[in-house]
Amino acid sequence: MSLAEQFESNNKSYVSTFTKGDLALPPAKKALILVCMDARIDPAKSLGFEEGDVHVVRNAGGRAKDALRSIIISQKLLGTREIIVIHHTDCGMLTFKDEDLKSILLKDTGQQTDLQFLPFSDLHQSVKDDVEIIKSNPFVLDIPITGYIYDVKTGEINKVSSD
């Protein structure tokens, strides 16, 4: 059985007990969490929320530049009024430079890309940078934005000061 087929089977079990079809479109807690796509992080379990509570935006590194479109839609059209940015220890974004991946893509395809992959070399600074990118965007509301680092070994989040 392929993984897709396993997911289809799992979904049938999920549907048989599904009771949350009446949740409102806007997130109940009026918050958005921006977090890395790393499979070792389960934002709902680690932060204690359920379906319908918050918007979760995931991308490689939990990068703000990549998430601004979703953040603006979440705020302007769906009423979110707080943002949490979470990066994490042992992140793959710490392991390469933009030029490295661009070189691999060029070698594999023969084509250059102008994509920015947004790696970083300092975990604390990356959180500060992403909080600032969100705060300084003219289309983002002036709301609480807090940054954290999630420890993949312990599951603990640690607040990153904005100084």
Residues forming beta bridges with residue 31, ordered by sequence position:
54, 82
- Mean pLDDT across 99-122: 97
Q: Burial, 14: exposed, middle or buried (Cβ in 10 Å; 0-12, 13-18, 19+)?
A: exposed
Compute, in degrees rounded to 10, the torsion defined by CA atoms 10, 12, 18, 22.
Answer: 110
Contact by Cβ (8 Å): 89, 41: no
The average pLDDT across 145-152 equals 98
CA dihedral 61, 130, 24, 15 (to 10 degrees): 10
Q: Over the chain, what is the mean pLDDT?
A: 97
Q: Is the pLDDT of residue 17 over 80?
A: yes
**pLDDT at residue number 163:** 67
pLDDT confidence band for 11 (50 / 70 / 90): very high
- The 10s digit of each residue's pLDDT in 123-143 is 999 999 999 999 999 999 999
Q: Which domains does the chain have, with CATH numbers?
A: 26-160 (3.40.1050.10)
